[in-house]
Amino acid sequence: MIFVRAIHELPLQKYVHVIMGKKRDLKQIDAIANEFHIRGDLRESFGEFIEEQKNLGYGGSLNAKRGFTYKELREKAKEFLEEKGL
């Protein structure tokens, strides 16, 4: 509900960008997860790992928010699996 209120205050173009940008990001992470056979609870952990990497300053080069390119996400998937011992 807090998210909806914050979004509601944004101009329409910004609102569409936030929603569509999130959707695109999730699709990319899902595609990488499928490519590397990251499923179930591990998939959720992978998403958390990606967010944690950004928060720790290890974000990607896609944009000012430190989003990851597809190639960078593939590298992060490898790091994630190595960290998990898989």
pLDDT > 90 in the chain, percent:
45
pLDDT tens-digit map of 14-37: 444 444 456 777 889 999 999 999
Looking at the structure of the chain, the number of domains it has is: 1
Q: Is residue 3 part of a domain?
A: no
Q: Is residue 43 part of a domain?
A: yes
The domain in which residue 75 lies consists of: 19-83
Q: Is residue 41 part of a domain?
A: yes
- What Å distances lie between residue 1 and 5, 8, 10, 12, 84, CA to CA? 6, 10, 15, 18, 34
- Per the listing, tokens 């997860």 go with 33
Q: Is residue 9 part of a domain?
A: no
Q: Is residue 74 part of a domain?
A: yes
Q: Is residue 52 part of a domain?
A: yes
| DSSP letter assigned to residue 68 | P
Is this structure's pTM higher than 0.75?
no
Amino acid of residue 15: Y
> What's the CA gap between 18 and 22, in Å, rounded?
6
Residue 49 CB burial class (10 angstroms; 0-12, 13-18, ≥19): middle
> What's the CA gap between 78 and 71, in Å, rounded?
11
